Each structure stands twice: as C-alpha cells, then as structure tokens.
C-alpha cells in the first residue's frame, strides 16, 4: 500500500489488514499516541457506548473499569468453584462478576476472589452436555440458535416467532427438551451473515463480495470464513492486491485469515471511520457475559451493546456455526468480518445476525482467541 493511500484512508486501509474483514471496512484517522496514563478507551469508543447503551461519559468509564476487573478475576473465580462452577456473567447494576455455583461448599472460596455468588441446580459441565446433545440434532430453518444461559440455569433455545407453530420446529423443541433443562424464547427474525455485494468505499474484495478486516495478526489479518475460501485472492479498496485466504472455515465455524503483501502492512488498530478516533488493540482478554462490547464495520461504523451469551450455536441457512458469542450490537450487510472490541481487548470478528441499526437487532461474532489458536496466529498488539 502506498503512502498516499494511507493519507487518503487515514490508516483505515492499513487496518484494512487488521481491523475488519467481513464487515466491509473503510478508512479512519490515524491512531493518536497514547498518553503517559493510558485511558480506559478512546473518546470515540466512549461516545459510542453513551449513544448505544444510554450512559453518561463518567458511567461509560466506570463500566469499562468494572468490566476490566471482572474479566481479570473470572479465571480465579472459576478455579475456586472447581467442578461446582455453573457459569458467570457481569452484572451491570452492581458492577461485579456473578458466578453460579452448584453447591454451597465452594461458595466462600468463590466469594474470596471478589465475585458475587449465586447457588444453582446445574453445573456448567451439565448444561454444556445438554447443549452438546442438542447440537447433534438437525435444526429446521425456524430454529434460530441455542446456548447455555448460566443466569437462567438452562439451555435457551431461540425460535423465530413466525415459525413457532411449524411442525418441524415443534418437533425440534420436543427433542431438545428431552436432552435436559431447556427454555424456549422467540426472536423476530432468522440470522443471516452480513457480507455484501461490491460497493464503493474502502473495503476489501474477494470475488464480488465486500468484507472488512477483523484484526491484524503478524503476517496478515483475521476475518469471517463466509467471506472467501482458502486460496481466494483479496483486493483492497483501491483494487490493488493484498494477499490470499490462507485458511477458511464456514459453516461449522465462521473464521478465516488472509496473508498480507504487495506493499500492505498491518497495525494494531480498530478503525474509527473518521467519526471517532481509532482504537488501539492491546490484547484479547475475553469479556464476560453482560459486559459492554463495541463493533466497527464499513456499513454502519461504530455501534455498541452487551455480550448476551457465549458458546451459542447459530443456525444459518448455509448450516450451523458453533461456539459463537451473541451480542445486542446491531449490524447490516457489509459489516461481516468486522472488529468486536471491549475496551482495548479484541473479542472477535462479525459473523451475522438479524435486524439492522435503524430498528435494532442482534449480532454474533466468532471469538478471536479460537481463531488465533486454530491457525497458530499471533495478534498484533500495541
């Protein structure tokens, strides 16, 4: 990529190598140098949290600080719970991590870590086994997704409201209930991926599909698998060659990585699209359920919401995708592959969802650490 390109896209094309892949990414201003005392997040991310979560700036800062604390202690709390661990989530009202525990004998050990304890009937291992049995079933189109909900203490099965009376859906629900404790909820639409046809702007292209970069890794960037197959060539916003898909998986998973060359390079930044400052990426610590999370994509730019569920199976028309994270963040066509970030920690790449950023919706992302582990990649961090 040439220096004139960098000026025009303001690091967005650079990050085009490391910010969003399937989300149809565009350029943003260059990242500002970090002050001596690192702030909790860029002003742009704070602004997006205020807009989408209804927070004041001070509330957004306090929430990021509390979420960082919760993320840090989640591992210790899980180890303290041992086999009694029933799952965990961030409680925005209390600002603390809540840990479900199956049995009172380990409750004090968990409290000693700083977490709040809730006694439950089923352990996470038991609920995961229920979900695994449901994963083995063949889901009809009217079934949207399913995941373990530690707060509810059961597997939540989401069905499309208009298909609630469909015989195949009813049969699936009946089979799912036989697997263990199940709670059925309705959603308004079926999930779809967020790739888009070729349009103007600053995306990357593979064939006639526009996608955005997820996050820079050493040697390339990660993105969504439905954006291209292994070996497919990738072009930048200026139609110059970037590299090729080195690995891709969809359905089953929805992740891929693209090599970078031809004068392009990678940077540890999530683009702000010229409307908010770019966000530096400093790691990939996974935020707990309930924590705030923001997404960047070329179609709808910055939007924020909450982590709603983890390890959810999403039933796309092309087939089921496993181990996804569900969020309340909106997205639209062309946002696929874009960056999900919590504070300065990379979370995942945009896969799909339902709804839009006018009326709202839900979006799933493929967790970043799974992608890094699958391909042996190293995240490019600041």
Catalytic residue among 149, 254, 278, 335: 254
Whether 226 is catalytic is: yes
**How many angstroms separate the CA atoms of 248 and 226, rounded?**
8
**What is the distance of C-alpha 27 from the center of its chain?**
21
Q: Which residues pair with 341 in a beta bridge?
A: 294, 346
Catalytic residue among 12, 145, 212, 336: 336
- Pair 291, 342: CB distance under 8 Å: yes
**How many angstroms separate the CA atoms of 321 and 314, rounded?**
5
Q: Give the closest residue to 92 by CA, choosing from 58, 63, 52.
A: 63
Catalytic residue among 147, 226, 301, 365: 226
Whether 218 is catalytic is: no
357 contacts: CB under 8 Å, gap ≥ 6: 300, 303, 330, 331, 332
151 contacts: CB under 8 Å, gap ≥ 6: 87, 89, 98, 100, 118, 289
Q: Give the closest residue to 130 by CA, choosing from 78, 73, 69, 175.
A: 175
CA atoms within 13 A on the CB side of 356: 5
**How many angstroms separate the CA atoms of 289 and 291, rounded?**
6
Q: Which residues does the annotation mark as catalytic?
A: 226, 254, 336
């Amino acid at each position: 990529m040439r220096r004139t390109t960098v000026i025009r896209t303001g690091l967005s094309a650079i990050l085009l190598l490391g910010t969003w892949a399937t989300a149809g990414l565009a350029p943003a201003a260059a990242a500002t140098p970090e002050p001596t005392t690192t702030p909790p997040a860029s002003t742009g991310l704070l602004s997006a949290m205020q807009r989408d979560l209804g927070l004041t700036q001070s509330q957004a800062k306090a929430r990021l600080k509390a979420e960082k604390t919760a993320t840090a202690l989640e591992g210790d709390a899980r180890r303290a719970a041992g086999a009694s661990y029933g799952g965990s989530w961030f409680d925005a009202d209390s600002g603390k991590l809540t840990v479900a525990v199956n049995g009172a004998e380990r409750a004090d050990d968990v409290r000693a870590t700083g977490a709040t304890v809730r006694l439950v009937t089923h352990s996470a291992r038991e609920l995961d086994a229920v979900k695994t049995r449901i994963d083995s079933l063949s889901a009809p189109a009217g079934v949207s997704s399913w995941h373990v909900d530690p707060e509810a203490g059961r597997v939540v099965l989401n069905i499309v409201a208009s298909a609630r009376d469909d015989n195949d859906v009813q049969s699936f629900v009946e089979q799912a209930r036989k697997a263990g404790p199940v709670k059925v909820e309705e959603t308004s639409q079926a999930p779809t991926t967020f790739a888009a046809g070729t349009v103007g702007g600053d995306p990357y292209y593979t064939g006639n599909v526009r996608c955005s970069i997820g996050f820079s890794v050493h040697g390339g960037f990660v993105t969504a698998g439905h954006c291209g197959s292994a070996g497919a060539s990738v072009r930048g916003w200026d139609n110059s060659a970037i590299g090729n898909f080195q690995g891709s998986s969809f359905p089953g998973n929805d992740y891929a990585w693209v090599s970078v060359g031809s004068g392009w390079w990678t940077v540890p930044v999530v683009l702000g699209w010229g409307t908010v400052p770019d966000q530096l990426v400093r790691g990939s610590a996974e935020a707990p359920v309930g924590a705030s999370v923001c997404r960047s994509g070329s179609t709808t730019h910055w939007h924020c919401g909450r982590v709603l569920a983890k390890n959810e199976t999403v039933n796309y028309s092309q087939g089921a995708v496993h181990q996804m994270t569900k969020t309340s963040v909106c997205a639209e066509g062309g946002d696929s592959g874009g960056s999900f970030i919590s504070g300065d920690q990379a979370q995942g790449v945009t896969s799909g969802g339902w709804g839009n950023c006018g009326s709202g919706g839900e979006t799933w992302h493929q967790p970043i650490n799974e992608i890094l582990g699958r391909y042996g990649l190293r995240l490019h961090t600041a």
